[in-house]
Chain A
Amino acid sequence: MSWVGEIFKATLAAVAVFTFLAVVAAMLGVYLERKISGWIQSRLGPKHVGPQGIMQTMADTVKLLQKENIVPANADAITFTVAPLLAAVAGLLAWIIIPFGPLFGRIIVVRDINIGLLFFIAMASLIVIAILLGGWSSNNKYALLGGFRSASQMISYEIPLALAVLVPVMLAGTLSTVGIVEAQRGGWLGIGNWFIFGLPGNRWLLIPGVLAFLVFLTAATAEVNRVPFDLPEAESELVAGYFSEYTGMRFALFQLGEYAEAFAMAALTTVLFLGGWHGPLLPGVVWFFIKLFALVFVLMWVRWTYPRLRLDQLLHLSWKGLVPLGFLLVLVTGWLLV
């Protein structure tokens, strides 16, 4: 009965990933978000619950768990309930292919599948459906507008995201995340072979490497609906966008999905361009988390640096800027590799 064992293992892995996400992505993510926002605005941020306010998110979660789950009177109840679950599950599934680094002689990854990156992008595209359905089923015009904005934005930015992913895929010759990180092993201080610096034998690839990194980071920021691309949930225009009507744990599930996705994008950037767990001196897993949190910090830094784009500017940036640039990068990379 090996398949029963497999299902058992898969369930355990799902529980582990979920716990990890709930703790690291949602709890720490919200805490860091508030703390860093505070520092940037010359305030202290959360301070009272626990040392340096570190338990603040815990207290918020307890508060959210006690809240009533309200379904608006004219909302489509089934869709309204399913949408946050879909968002959280898709955000969770994206983590399956992220390798954290070697620990006790084996690489920590839930499943190293041979279509890993394709799977990741597919899961990112499933979140669109959750947001669209959540926005529509709330029966609220702000929520609906947020859902529509989000759908057009995320579909537009999926294309540059996929094109930017193609550059490291072409350099490594595989879609498996572990394979891509292994291809970046070695070099000067364990840094020299990162794909952002091109290949050791061909330093001209540095140009498409850096550009693809920037395109990926921009598209990823838009894909997870963060400032300056946060039109779907623009507080000053749409209340809270697609989750205006959500309360209690369903609201928390949407937040969890969003933070899980944002952290997953940062983790994937690390894997694709910054050498995954490779680095000098420190153990691999530590390096992975250093790079991950550095990128998360960049995401939060950008949030308080740039103003929000208008919808037309947003779509222009994708279709007239990033998509042509992405195609050009794929072409140039192929040309340099041959």
Chain B
Amino acid sequence: MGELAAFTILAAVTLLPAVVVVTSRNLVRAAMSLIPSFLGVTGLFVLLQAEFVAGIQILIYAGAIAVLILFVIMLTQGGTGTAVRQTNEQRVVGALAAAALTTALLALLLRTAWPLAAGALPRANVAAVGSAFLTTFVLAFEISSVVLLVSLVGALVIARREQ
């Protein structure tokens, strides 16, 4: 009962701001609404006992990516963008396509009989995630660190003002 209540609230906190993100004419409001949406997803992670992922989610998404997006919106075109048209001509088509894909996804995901397993997650799983990263998934770990380095250099080179 309590879990359901928490889930309902968190799902609403995730989805309602997400609607504002994609529909608001005011770009700063849209970017601002990303933050409650990210925090709602964080709450869902906590419900799913993924505390470490939840912490990283707040730190990276809400603390860094949202700030970066707000920064760029405020630096480009001087503000909210309410003066210009924010949507393109394919609004109806886009809505239909998104609705069709969502319906297909919902039908596919909800009608499949997933092989549910009864086991529980390790109790404090931060250390377990760490050792999984450095043993089983060490290749993914190394590759993502290389990608980080490349994107760091790339972002610097692209964003730098040419002399």
| Chain A residues packing against B (C-beta within 8 Å) | 1-4, 6, 76, 78-79, 113-115, 118-119, 121-123, 125-126, 128-129, 132-133, 136, 144, 148, 151, 155, 158, 175
Identify the closest chain A residue to B3 (Cβ).
A3
Chain A residues near B2 (CB-CB < 8 A) = 2-4, 6
A122 touches B32 (CB 8 A): no
A4–B5 Cα distance when bound, in Å, is 11
**Does B10 reach chain A (CB closer than 8 Å)?**
no
Binary interface encoding of chain B residues 77-117 relative to chain A, with 1 for a CB under 8 A from any of its CBs, else 0 = 00010000000000000000000000000000000000000
A25–B33 Cα distance when bound, in Å, is 30
A4–B3 Cα distance when bound, in Å, is 11
Main secondary structure of the interface of B (DSSP, over half): helix
Binary interface encoding of chain B residues 57-95 relative to chain A, with 1 for a CB under 8 A from any of its CBs, else 0 = 011001110110011001000001000000000000000
B66 touches A115 (CB 8 A): no
A136 touches B67 (CB 8 A): no
A136 CB, nearest partner CB in chain B, Å: 6
Chain A residues near B70 (CB-CB < 8 A) = 129, 132-133, 136, 151
Chain A residues near B26 (CB-CB < 8 A) = 76
B20 CB, nearest partner CB in chain A, Å: 11
A113–B126 Cα distance when bound, in Å, is 11
B1 touches A122 (CB 8 A): no
Q: Contacts A6-B2, A126-B62, A132-B71: A119 and B55 contacting too (C-beta < 8 A)?
A: yes
A78–B20 Cα distance when bound, in Å, is 14
The residue in B1, B28, B59, B63 that gathers the most chain A C-beta atoms within 10 A of its C-beta is: B63
A115 touches B54 (CB 8 A): yes
Q: Contacts A3-B5, A132-B70, A151-B67: A115 and B62 contacting too (C-beta < 8 A)?
A: no
A126–B42 Cα distance when bound, in Å, is 13
| Chain B residues packing against A (C-beta within 8 Å) | 1-3, 5-6, 26, 28-29, 32, 35, 51-52, 54-56, 58-59, 62-64, 66-67, 70-71, 74, 80, 124, 126
A158–B63 Cα distance when bound, in Å, is 10
- Closest CB pairs A-B (n = 9): A3-B2, A125-B63, A118-B55, A122-B58, A115-B55, A122-B59, A114-B124, A115-B51, A128-B67
Q: Contacts A155-B67, A175-B126: A136 and B74 contacting too (C-beta < 8 A)?
A: yes
Give 19 A-B contacts (CB < 8 Å), ordered by A residue.
A76-B26, A78-B29, A114-B124, A115-B126, A118-B56, A122-B55, A122-B58, A122-B63, A123-B58, A125-B59, A125-B62, A125-B64, A126-B62, A128-B67, A129-B62, A129-B63, A129-B66, A132-B70, A148-B71
Query: Contacting B64 at CB < 8 Å: which of A2, A119, A123, A155?
Result: A155
Chain B residues near A148 (CB-CB < 8 A) = 71, 74
Chain A residues near B28 (CB-CB < 8 A) = 76, 79, 136
A175–B74 Cα distance when bound, in Å, is 36
B35 touches A113 (CB 8 A): no
Chain B residues near A76 (CB-CB < 8 A) = 26, 28-29, 80
A78–B56 Cα distance when bound, in Å, is 28
